[in-house]
């Protein structure tokens, strides 16, 4: 396992005249959880899509698990996975069929056993044989998390992993993900609008706006820097341009964990 699971350098993405991502640089170590935060349109989805190889960068580089994602994507994609409640799984397939399909896609040898483990751990048996399209939003979120873990990924990209879950279930999922990370030493990149969730589970935070990193640090660092009591207040300061010029214009320091572009 290389020291850096995710290493992004001067990453850019342009759509004609629109610069969605503007030369961002960040890295995530194995065993770290980093939050990618920003308002709608900040570039988070574009960044994650480039990490997954769905979009090609306009400029810059992405190395995942030591491999260049553009040149050698096929070498490492089986070691990565992704979860988003906003990306539907095939609706007519049952939960079991969906999980079996993704096990085959990732080359899981004992697919039946792996699906059984996920059903036990994520409490899916109640609706395992129901069409995925018939599930509640909270149930779909749990299935999405299960799908993201079928191959026990070394890099886990999460978009709003606890969306639509009640507080008790959301708390359980967060604990489950941290236990998974402790066991596998996976790197987790998390995009979320749930600031309390970020404060609880993230080692570091990248604050993004208009395709750029405007600040970064541990949750406690950011709270101290902005003299705030919670990350939601920091988020609002950045979203509403209540940022001091020295913070906004400085080149963020290169450290273990840089995250970046919205």
Q: pLDDT for 141-195, tens place per residue?
A: 899 999 999 999 999 999 888 887 888 888 988 999 999 999 999 999 999 888 9
What DSSP designation does 65 have? T
**3-class secondary-structure state, position 201:** helix
76, 5 in Cβ contact below 8 A?
A: no
The tokens for 57 are 């960068």
Quick one: pLDDT at residue 193?
A: 86
How does pLDDT run across 98-137, given as a tens digit for each residue? 999 999 999 999 999 999 999 999 999 999 999 999 999 8
pTM: 0.87
Q: How many CB atoms are located within 10 Å of the residue 196 CB?
A: 12
How does pLDDT run across 5-41, given as a tens digit for each residue? 999 999 999 998 899 999 999 999 999 999 999 988 8
Rg of the chain over all Cα atoms, to the nearest angstrom: 18
Of 71-85, 197-211, 241-255, where does mean pLDDT reach its minimum? 241-255
**Which pLDDT band holds residue 243 (cuts at 50, 70, 90)?**
low
Q: How many CB atoms are located within 10 Å of the residue 224 CB?
A: 11
The tokens for 201 are 């589970």
Domains (range + CATH), the chain = 4-88+154-249 (3.40.50.300)
How does pLDDT run across 43-97, given as a tens digit for each residue? 998 999 999 999 999 999 999 999 999 999 889 999 999 998 888 899 999 999 9
The tokens for 247 are 């913070």
CA 57/CA 69 separation, integer angstroms: 10
Furthest C-alpha separation in the chain: 56
23, 60 in Cβ contact below 8 A?
A: yes
Quick one: pLDDT at residue 259?
A: 37
Is the pLDDT at 252 greater than 80? The verdict is no
Residue 222 CA: distances (Å) to CA of 78, 180, 193, 205, 218 = 35, 27, 16, 8, 6
Strand 4-15 relative to strand 18-29, pairing: antiparallel
Is the pLDDT at 258 greater than 50? The verdict is no
Backbone angles phi and psi of 168, in degrees to 5: -65, -45
Residue 16 CA: distances (Å) to CA of 46, 50, 113, 171, 183 = 15, 17, 47, 42, 44
Is the pLDDT at 254 greater than 70? The verdict is no
CA 47/CA 12 separation, integer angstroms: 9
The DSSP element (H or E) to which 257 belongs, if any, is: none
Is the pLDDT at 1 greater than 60? The verdict is no
CA 243/CA 96 separation, integer angstroms: 48
Quick one: pLDDT at residue 245?
A: 44
What DSSP designation does 77 have? G
CA 181/CA 177 separation, integer angstroms: 6
Quick one: pLDDT at residue 260?
A: 37
Quick one: pLDDT at residue 39?
A: 87
The tokens for 117 are 């483990």
140, 132 in Cβ contact below 8 A?
A: yes
């Amino acid at each position: 396992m290389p020291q850096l699971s995710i290493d992004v350098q001067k990453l850019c993405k342009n759509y004609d005249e629109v610069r969605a991502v503007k030369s961002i640089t960040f890295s995530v170590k194995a065993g770290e959880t980093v939050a990618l935060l920003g308002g709608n349109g900040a570039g988070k989805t574009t960044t994650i899509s480039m990490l997954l190889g769905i979009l090609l960068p306009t400029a810059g580089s992405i190395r995942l698990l030591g491999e260049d994602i553009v040149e050698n994507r096929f070498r490492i994609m089986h070691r990565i996975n992704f979860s988003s409640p906003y990306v539907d799984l095939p609706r007519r397939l049952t939960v079991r069929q969906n999980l079996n399909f993704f096990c085959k896609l990732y080359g899981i040898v004992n697919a039946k056993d792996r699906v059984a483990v996920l059903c036990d751990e994520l409490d899916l048996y109640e609706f395992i044989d129901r069409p995925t399209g018939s599930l509640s939003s909270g149930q779909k979120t749990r299935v999405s998390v299960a799908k993201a873990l079928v191959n026990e990924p070394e890099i886990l990209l999460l978009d709003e992993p606890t969306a639509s879950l009640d507080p008790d279930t959301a708390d359980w999922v967060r604990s489950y993900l941290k236990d998974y990370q402790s066991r596998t030493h996976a790197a987790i990149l998390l995009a979320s609008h749930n600031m309390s969730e970020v404060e609880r589970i993230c080692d570091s935070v990248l604050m993004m706006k208009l395709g750029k990193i405007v600040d970064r640090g541990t949750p406690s660092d950011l709270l101290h820097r902005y003299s705030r009591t919670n990350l939601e207040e920091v988020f609002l300061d950045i979203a509403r341009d209540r940022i001091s010029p020295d913070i906004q214009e400085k080149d963020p320091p290169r450290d273990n964990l840089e995250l970046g572009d919205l």
